């Protein structure tokens, strides 16, 4: 296998958005060696080497990173391979810059979730409104049913009292009739 190498300067939104991690994962997936590092001007430098087909595929992958990263342009030049480089790595920046990078990437992810949640806010409001309307209807039905039950109970109580009075009156009359017959 003939080792081929290139160096690229990538411009756009490529720092604090997880672009270097994307480059690392892509290079490792293709079996390339090299490195990626941030530059002070906001660009990213990439050195990669490997077989020609993998290099060509890698260059195409670099142009289309996942959001929120965005590649405006890439300057690529062929360079001599460096057989001493065996793996693909991220060359770290000073610690404070790496922390900013990590927080920046997390902020981008958070903002994506926040935007997605924001899209659902109206749906949640509509759901709450429907729930409130359903609850109000249930309470109205409960009120109607409660009134009907109260009316039924009052009727049963009244009719039961009238029936008891009629039975008492009938018992009294029967008792009197029996007493007359027994004399």
The vertex-49 CA angle with 41 and 80, nearest 5°, equals: 85
Per the CB < 8 A criterion, the answer to whether 27 and 20 are in contact is no
To the query of whether residue 20 is one of the catalytic residues in this protein, the response is yes
Catalytic residue among 38, 40, 82, 161: 38
Residue 64 per-residue DSSP state: S
Catalytic residue among 13, 20, 158, 168: 20
User: What three-state secondary structure class fits 45?
Assistant: strand
The vertex-157 CA angle with 156 and 160, nearest 5°, equals: 80
To the query of whether residue 82 is one of the catalytic residues in this protein, the response is no
- The rounded Cα 97 to chain-centroid distance in angstroms is 29
The vertex-12 CA angle with 10 and 13, nearest 5°, equals: 115
Q: How many angstroms separate the CA atoms of 143 and 156, rounded?
A: 20
Q: Which residues are catalytic?
A: 20, 38
């Amino acid at each position: 296998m003939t080792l081929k190498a290139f160096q690229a300067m990538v411009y756009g939104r490529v720092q604090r958005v997880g672009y270097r991690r994307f480059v690392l994962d892509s290079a490792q997936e293709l079996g390339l060696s090299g490195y990626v590092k941030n530059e002070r001007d906001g660009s990213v430098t990439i050195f990669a080497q490997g077989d020609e087909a993998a290099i060509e595929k890698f260059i195409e992958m670099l142009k289309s990173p996942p959001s929120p990263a965005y590649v405006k342009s890439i300057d690529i030049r062929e360079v001599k391979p460096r057989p001493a480089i065996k793996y693909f790595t991220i060359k770290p920046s000073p610690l404070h810059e790496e922390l900013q990078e990590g927080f920046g990437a997390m902020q981008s992810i958070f903002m994506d979730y926040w935007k997605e949640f924001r899209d659902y806010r109206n749906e949640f409001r509509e759901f709450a409104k429907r729930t409130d309307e359903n609850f109000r209807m249930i309470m109205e039905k409960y009120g109607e049913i409660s009134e009907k039950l109260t009316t039924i109970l009052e009727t049963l109580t009244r009719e039961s009292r009238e029936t008891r009075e009629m039975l008492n009156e009938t018992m009294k009359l029967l008792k009197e009739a029996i007493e007359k017959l027994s004399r």
